[in-house]
Chain A
Amino acid sequence: MAAMVVTALTAAPGLAGAQSAEERGRAVAEEADARDRGWGDEKSTMRMILRNRGGEESSRELRRTGLETDGEGIGDRSIIVFESPNDIEGTALLSHTRTLDPDDQWLYLPALRRVKRISSGNKSGPFVGSEFAYEDLVSQEVDKYEYRWLRTERCGDLECEVVERYPRYENSGYTRQIVWWDTAEFRAQRVEFYDRKDVLLKTLSSEGYQSYGDGFWRPHRMVMQNHQSGKSTELVFEDWRFGAGLTEDDFTPSRLRRAR
């Protein structure tokens, strides 16, 4: 399947015209997805820096572990643990994501030693006060969107496929997004988010991609700029590690108690 897509995109550009813009857009997304298959599990630490319009900053440190999961309609699993600010240290969020159905989420509140199942309907609200919405941070399964290829254009030193996508899942805060995937490695270099009134809301820029393990590209830095509020959030990744041998057992509600 992935091989066919590669052929359609790269070996026979002349045939691209035979595809509709929708098919071609989806083919790009499938290629990006296929190239990121097989990473298994990952651990990363990151610093999240929130800036308001006046330039005031506040930051959080987070530790994230993720597990790649196969299966129809099932997305990846992750645990995010907060290391700072100190008043929320040890707070942990477990997510079992799904492509179209609502995700399952549990929150661990360390002060009460309480694991609490929470509703996942709020996909578009700010994640811990940042410019990232929860829906921006979860795994981007191909079937979450419908696609339309727009154009191919220069993006910095690279060439990018520019594809518009429309969320198929419920409760999204966006009518559409425009993604710039570079043609070299199909990494998302830039994403524009249009709000429910179809006005440009945010732009996400990803930089400093490095290849880990068997060619899994991860960014060093992501910046989400909100054009309407003037606020921005920067995510700086300090460490990516793959292949710790994690299993589904490591991503259960009871394990949240030992995640800290």
Chain B
Amino acid sequence: MNAAARFVGTAGRVVSTAPRVLLAAAMVLGVPAATAAAQGVEAGAEVEASVRAFPADPLFPGQQTAALSPSVVLSPDFELEWSDRRWRLVGEGFARLDAHDGRRSHVDIRELGVSYFGDRFTAFAGVGQVFWGVNEVRHLVDVVNQVDGVEDLDGEDKLGQPMVSLTLESDWAVLDLYYLPYFRERTFPDHDARLRGSLPIDGDPRYPNGGGRWDGGVAARAFRTFGAVDLGLSYFGGTSREPAFEVVVAEGGQPRARPRYDRIDQWGTDLQWTGERTLLKLEAMTRGGHGDRLYAASGGIEYTLYQVLGSDGDLGLLSEITFDSRGEGAPSTLFEHDLFLGGRWALNDPSDTSVLGGPLIDLSTGEVLAVFEAERRLGSAWRLSLDGRLFWNTDPSSRIHGIHRDGFLALSLVRYF
């Protein structure tokens, strides 16, 4: 959920002028340093210190009991362009060190690849990040990248995906084509960590269709604007980014949840109608490969009150509802028939202060996940954010019950270099 102010969204990329290190890197990569310097090398980093506060004790014996769980993140990035900006090399790394969750302490290459910009096409090879969709809460059609599951519950932090891609622009549509040679497994909290769920998650997943991580996939999306309507149609064929879980008994007789990654085919559409104050959104998909073919749709409305109560701020009222046919055997999600009712308040001040929040309600069980995100810039190079994820009224028989005492508040301070 991105609490974008009207024009300026949440944390962006970071740039400062070229350090010598990168000129050296440019030379190693065969790009003349002088050229690189002339055409722009940009490099920077984000450094984050954050602390999660867990108000409740954990549900299971052996889970971490610390009420405060600090962590630090280093995320360097660079970008260089040459040949009249026809070529671009970008990279973004990510490393988190977490005091209490050994698996949340992890390193990833979010992006590292080279693009060539033709007149009406773009080619890319390397590790990339792709976003598909229009919704704020459930991202049903966004299937190219694996979710970095230890980062948050919202699925918006994603692992870098190795890919070769081609974007073709024509008068009737923009077509993105992807070949995805390697599969990334989802990240999960450690055996004794908060938010791990009812059972410790086994590190050795099962691929029932064989293939494993090197079983490649393909994806494609066509996009076009028809006046006030933006329409995307997408296909994905490959290993499901969402795992199903099977209970296995590990050494010592301990039960574990073992991820299972099925081969799937998924057709999706994302649609948005944009009015002067109103956005109407729809994401829908159908997926085969988990047993019975499943269908899911998530639609929403966003209505914005501009300069609310005579202030400079805008108040957006946001509601999204999801229906999902998935049953036993398919990967479960926290909510299958859910309704989000919330608001987004963008103050439009020089610090880009924004607040977003509301309950996500499971319509079949009445379980609630309350979401809260507030952030603002401090000075010119810092950003402070407070996020909350709290559970209410969870049903002892549901999957969410295993984490219902792991609701948290997270305070983060990021320095941009």
Asked if B414 and A114 sit within 8 Å, CB to CB, the answer is no
B214 within 8 A of A: no
CA distance A85 to B377 in the complex (A): 9
Task: State whether A121 touches B380 (Cβ < 8 A).
Answer: no
Chain A residues in 8 Å Cβ range of B277:
119, 121
Cβ of A260 under 8 Å from chain B: yes
CB-CB under 8 A from B383, the residues of chain A are 87
Asked whether, in the complex, the Cβ of B416 is within 8 Å of the Cβ of A114, the reply is: no
Residue A127 is within 8 A (CB to CB) of chain B in the complex: yes
- A121 near B304 with CB under 8 A, answer yes
A86 at interface by CB-CB < 8 Å: yes
The residue in chain B whose Cβ has the minimal distance to the Cβ of A247 is B119
Output the least CB separation between A94 and chain B (Å).
11
User: Please, what's the 1-or-0 string for A61-97, where 1 marks a CB less than 8 Å from any CB in chain B?
Assistant: 0000000000000000000001111111111010000
Instruction: Return B99 CB to nearest CB of chain A, in Å.
Output: 25
B174 touches A252 (CB 8 A): yes
Flag if A114 contacts B115 (CB, 8 Å): no
Q: A116-B4, A121-B277, A254-B167 are in contact. Are A89 and B14 (CB under 8 A)?
A: yes
Q: Which of B279-304 contact A (CB under 8 A)?
A: 279, 304
Bound complex: CA A12 to CA B120 (Å): 51
Q: Is the interface of B mostly helix, strand, loop or mixed?
A: loop
Which among A121, A127, A249, A258 is the interface contact of B276 at CB below 8 angstroms? A121
Find out whether the CB atom of B306 lies under 8 angstroms from the CB atom of A121: yes
User: How many A-B contacts at CB < 8 Å in the complex?
Assistant: 156
Give the contacting residue for A119; candidates B2, B156, B278, B377; CB below 8 A. Answer: B278
Of the listed stretches A13-21, A102-110, A202-210, chain B binds A102-110
Report if B274 contacts A (CB, 8 A): yes
B106 CB–A CB distance under 8 Å = no
The answer to whether A129 touches B349, judged by C-beta atoms less than 8 angstroms apart, is yes
State in angstroms the CA–CA spacing of A241 and B416 once bound together: 30
Nearest-CB distance from A24 to chain B (Å)? 33
B350 in complex: contacting residue of A50, A89, A124, CB < 8 Å: A50
Q: Does A199 contact B (CB under 8 A)?
A: no
Cβ-defined contact, B6 with A91, below 8 A: no
**B323 sits at the interface (CB 8 A):** no
Q: Which of B122, B156, B278, B417 contacts A112 (CB 8 A)?
A: B156
Check if A119 sits within 8 Å of B275, measured CB to CB: yes
Say yes or no: A258 contacts B7, CB within 8 Å: no
B9, A88: Cβ atoms closer than 8 Å: yes
CB of B247 within 8 Å of the partner chain: no
A10 interface contact, C-beta 8 A: no
- Check: B12 CB closer than 8 A to any chain A CB: yes
Interchain CB contact under 8 A, A86 and B8: no
Contact A253 B223 (CB under 8 A): yes
* B 256-280 to A, binary, CB cutoff 8 A, 1 in contact else 0: 0000000000000000101111110
Flag whether A158 is at the interface (Cβ < 8 A): no
State whether A111 and B13 are in contact (beta carbons under 8 Å apart), knowing that A122-B306, A129-B351, A129-B352 are contacts in the complex.
yes
Inter-chain contact A119/B7, CB cutoff 8 Å: no
Give Cα A61–Cα B158 distance, bound, in whole angstroms: 29
Known: A129-B348, A258-B117. A122 touches B6 (CB 8 A): yes
Chain B, Cβ-Cβ closest to A109: B9
Cα separation A88 to B376 with both chains bound (whole Å): 11
Given contacts A58-B350, A102-B276, A125-B314, whether A85 and B381 have CB atoms under 8 Å apart is yes
Within 112-143 of A, Cβ neighbours of B (below 8 Å) are at 112-114, 116-122, 124-130
* A7 CB-CB contact with B under 8 Å: no
**CB of B169 within 8 Å of the partner chain:** yes
Give Cα A126 to B346, complex, Å.
11
Nearest-neighbour CB distance to chain A for B44, whole angstroms, equals: 6
Complex Cα distance, B129 from A195, in Å, reads 44
Does A171 sit within 8 A of B, measured CB to CB?
Answer: yes
Chain A residues, Cβ within 8 Å of B2: 109, 111-112, 114
- At the interface, yes or no: A59 with Cβ under 8 Å from chain B? yes
Residues of chain A with a CB closer than 8 A to B230's CB:
117, 253
Chain B min CB distance to A235 (Å): 15
Chain B residues with CB below 8 A from A52, complex form? 350
Q: A58-B350, A86-B416, A125-B314 are in contact. Are A107 and B377 (CB under 8 A)?
A: no
Contacting residues, chain B, for A82 (C-beta < 8 A): 8, 12
Chain B residues positioned under 8 Å from A109 (CB to CB): 2, 4, 9-10, 12
Interface residues in B135-177 by Cβ distance below 8 A to A read: 156, 167, 169, 174
A85 to B380, CA, bound (A): 6
B223 contacts which of A89, A122, A171, A254 (Cβ < 8 Å)?
A: A254
Complex: how many Å from CA A114 to CA B276? 21
The answer to whether B130 has its CB under 8 Å from any CB of chain A is: yes
Do A90 and B350 have beta carbons less than 8 Å apart? no
Contact across chains for B9 and A258 when beta carbons are under 8 A apart: no
- Cβ of B109 within 8 Å of any chain A Cβ, yes or no, is no
Closest to B45 in A: A86
Give bound CA distance, A111 to B152, whole Å.
15
| CB atoms of A125 and B4 under 8 A apart | no
Decide if B416 touches A85 in the complex (CB within 8 Å): yes
- Residue in B134, B276, B348 whose CB lies within 8 Å of A126: B348
Whether B16 contacts A86 by the Cβ 8 Å rule is yes
Min C-beta distance of B286 to chain A, whole Å: 23
Known A-B contacts A113-B129, A117-B274; the reply to A128 vs B15 at CB < 8 A is: no
Q: Could you write out 12 A-B pairs with CB less than 8 Å apart? A: A86-B14, A86-B15, A86-B16, A86-B381, A88-B352, A89-B12, A91-B9, A110-B9, A110-B13, A112-B156, A125-B6, A126-B348
5 pairs of A and B residues whose beta carbons are closest in the complex:
A121-B276, A86-B416, A109-B9, A129-B350, A90-B13
A→B interface (CB under 8 Å): 50, 52, 58-59, 82-91, 93, 102, 104, 107, 109-114, 116-122, 124-130, 170-171, 249, 252-254, 258, 260
| Given A122-B307, A258-B115, A260-B79, 10 other A-B residues pairs in contact with their CB atoms under 8 A | A59-B380, A87-B377, A89-B13, A91-B8, A119-B275, A121-B277, A122-B314, A124-B307, A129-B348, A249-B120
Q: Which residues of B contact A (CB under 8 A)?
A: 2, 4, 6-16, 44, 79, 88, 115, 117, 119-120, 122, 129-131, 134, 156, 167, 169, 174, 223, 225, 228, 230, 272, 274-279, 304, 306-307, 312, 314, 348-352, 377, 380-381, 383, 414, 416-417
